[in-house]
Amino acid sequence: MKGWFVGLALVVVVVASGVGLWITWDSTQISSADPIGPTVGLVSPPTSSTRPTTTSTTVPPPPSCEAADDPVDGDPMTDWATLVVDPAHRLPEGFAPTDLVEATEAGFEARDQVRAIIVDDLAAMRAAAEANGTPIVVISGYRSESYQQELFDRQVEQSGEQDATLRTARAGHSEHQLGTAIDVLDPGVGELTPAFADTPAGRWVAEHAHEYGFVMSYPDGAQDRTCYAFEPWHLRYVGRDAAAAIHDAEVTPREWMWAARATAADAPG
Stretch 178-217: interaction string toward Zn ion, x if CB under 5 A: -----x----------------------------------
CB of residue 192 vs Zn ion: minimum separation in angstroms?
A: 8
Which of 234, 236, 254, 261 touches Zn ion by CB under 5 A? Answer: 234
What sign has the CA pseudo-torsion 81, 237, 217, 94? positive
Q: Candidates 45-53, 69-77, 163-171, 176-184: pick the segment binding Zn ion (CB under 5 A).
A: 176-184
Q: Candidates 20-28, 99-107, 117-125, 230-238: pick the segment binding Zn ion (CB under 5 A).
A: 230-238
Residue among 40 and 237 whose Cβ is closer to Zn ion: 237
The full length of the chain comes to: 269
DSSP per-residue codes, 123-140: HHHHHHHHHTT---EEEE
Which residue is at the shortest CB distance from Zn ion? 234
Residue among 88 and 169 whose Cβ is closer to Zn ion: 169
Q: Which residues contact 181 (CB under 8 A, 6 or more apart)?
A: 141, 174, 175, 217, 234, 235, 236, 237
CB of residue 166 vs Zn ion: minimum separation in angstroms?
A: 13
Q: Give one word for 44, left, alpha or beta, with left for phi > 0 and alpha for psi -120 to 50.
A: beta
Residue among 183 and 255 whose Cβ is closer to Zn ion: 183
Residue among 43 and 231 whose Cβ is closer to Zn ion: 231
Residue among 170 and 234 whose Cβ is closer to Zn ion: 234
Q: Which residues of 25-60 are buried (b: 16+ CB within 10 A; e: fewer)?
A: eeeeeeeeeeeeeebbbbbbbbeeeeebeeeebebe
Nearest in space to 206 (alpha carbons), one of 172, 231, 232: 232
Residue among 50 and 146 whose Cβ is closer to Zn ion: 146
- What letter would DSSP give residue 178? G
* 86 makes contact with Zn ion (CB under 5 A): no
Q: Candidates 26-34, 48-56, 121-129, 233-241: pick the segment binding Zn ion (CB under 5 A).
A: 233-241
Here the contacts of 161-166 (C-beta below 8 Å, separation 24 or greater) are 165/67, 165/87, 166/223, 166/227, 166/228, 166/229
Residue among 44 and 168 whose Cβ is closer to Zn ion: 168
Q: Cα angle vertex 238, ends 235, 243, to 5°? A: 85
Q: Candidates 21-29, 156-164, 227-235, 260-268: pick the segment binding Zn ion (CB under 5 A).
A: 227-235
CB of residue 268 vs Zn ion: minimum separation in angstroms?
A: 37
Q: Which residues contact 248 (CB under 8 A, 6 or more apart)?
A: 41
* Residues contributing to the site for Zn ion (CB under 5 A): 183, 234
